Structure 1
């Protein structure tokens, strides 16, 4: 297939792009534009309805989490935004359908609550579940967050409690059975081996990679061929779906874009 030059930036503010995004069916959100001119999108109703984002510093992982979460919120989803860096997702504070947590205790409690919500949803009838909003779990810096949650649990775990943190167990349950409960995880970073009980490519149908080493590529996309040369261009990376890797330019949405779009969608300046 003929390759085309990628744009230097794919901005939400570009003419007609917002209209194209809003015209997509519920549960579908574009990530980026590929070198064959196609829009690469996440489909939450596809085989594996979760997304893994892994980049080195400056690779755009926070932007990807923000833009995907915002698009699903615009479609009527609710979101649990877990921000252990405390500053990466301030756009999420105060939005009516978003639970935003930043410290380890808050993240722990929110994930335990997610486990309860998962159990409730799995007992709903199909009609009741269809009427429930999708729930997006958007976790930044997952490697660090999961280690913090494990240490936090050890500070007050009694001898009769399970060894694994109930917050980590709830996240693992969401990854394995989330589709049946309309719960979808967008995870930034690579969890330590064994923390979530499976290899990343078994849990995530879409993997977004930028500026990573060859060994990390092999770990996260083992069937997608050899690792490409990392690009230093902002927003440039690869999206792996169905073991095919596409070089892409990711969608850029600023904090201001997101807040205005979600709170005042008729604003012509957005």
Structure 2
């Protein structure tokens, strides 16, 4: 396979890139451009309808979550953006079809509401479900969020309440039954088997890895060979789909880029 020289940054303003993004079918979003010059995209209607992003610090996970979520919002989806750091996804605040939650109580209540919405959608007729907007659940720093939710639940649950936090249970339910309800999870972090109850490749059709350890690579991409040498470039990693790994430079979209594009898509500067 012929390799090309990847740019050190793939801006939303790169020539023809925005047009390429906007031409994609509903449910498909561009991750970036591979070392072979191929456009690497995620298709939420493919076999496993969720995305896992796992990087070390500076690997670009927040950038990927922002870019993918923004593209689905542009296509008419709604989004629940869970931001335990409280400042990583401020772009989502104020957007009419996005709900941003940062503190643990807000994240807990939002996920409990997600569980209720999931159950409601699963009871809809096919025609009614097709008319419902696709729902994206974008979870940044998922391990920290899950730990916070578990501690939060322990502070007030009674002895008759379930041991597992209902918020964590709702997220797990979304991962297992989301396809049937047009609910899709974009999760940042290494999934904990005790929470998800399955190997990552069973739940995530697309896995994006950057600057991870060899052991993490083997656990999350067990069929793709040894871990590659980490890139020094931000937002560059490997996209694993259908057992194949593609070195990819992810799209760079700033908070301002996203807000302008979603609120004034005809603005030539967006």
TM-score band, normalised by shorter chain: over 0.9
Deviation at 1:191, TM superposition (A): 2.9
- RMSD, matched Cα: 0.8
Gaps of 5+ in 2: none
In the TM superposition, residue 145 of structure 1 has moved relative to its aligned partner by: 0.4
Q: Counterparts of 2:238 and 2:78 in 1: how far apart (Å)? A: 27
**Aligned match of 1:155:** 155
Q: 2:127 aligns to what SS in structure 1? A: helix
Deviation at 1:233, TM superposition (A): 1.2
Alignment correspondent of 1:114: 114
Deviation at 1:83, TM superposition (A): 0.3
Residues 135-154 of structure 1 aligned to structure 2 (within 5 Å): 135-154=135-154
TM-score w.r.t. structure 1 length? 0.99
**1:127-206 pair list within 5 angstroms:** 127-206=127-206
The residue aligned with 2:85 is 85
Question: 1:77-119 deviations in whole A, cap 9, x for unaligned?
Answer: 0000000000000000010001110000000000000000000
Mapped contact 2:138–2:187 kept (Cα < 8 A):
yes
List structure 1 runs of 4+ shifted beyond 4 angstroms: none
User: CA shift at 1:37, angstroms?
Assistant: 1.0
CA distance in structure 2 between the aligned counterparts of 1:234 and 1:189, rounded to whole angstroms: 17
What's 2:54 paired with? 54
Greater Cα shift, 58-67 or 222-231? 222-231
Give matches, 1:21-40, under 5 Å. 21-40=21-40
Indicate the larger mover: 104-113 or 191-200.
Answer: 191-200
TM-score (structure 2 length as normaliser): 0.99
Q: Is the 8 A contact 1:146 1:191 kept in 2?
A: no
Structure 1 SS opposite 2:208 = strand
Name the CA distance, whole Å, in 2 between partners of 1:38 and 1:247: 10
Number of equivalent positions: 270
Instruction: Report the Cα offset of residue 53 of structure 1.
Output: 0.4
| TM-aligned CA deviation for residue 16 of structure 1 | 1.3
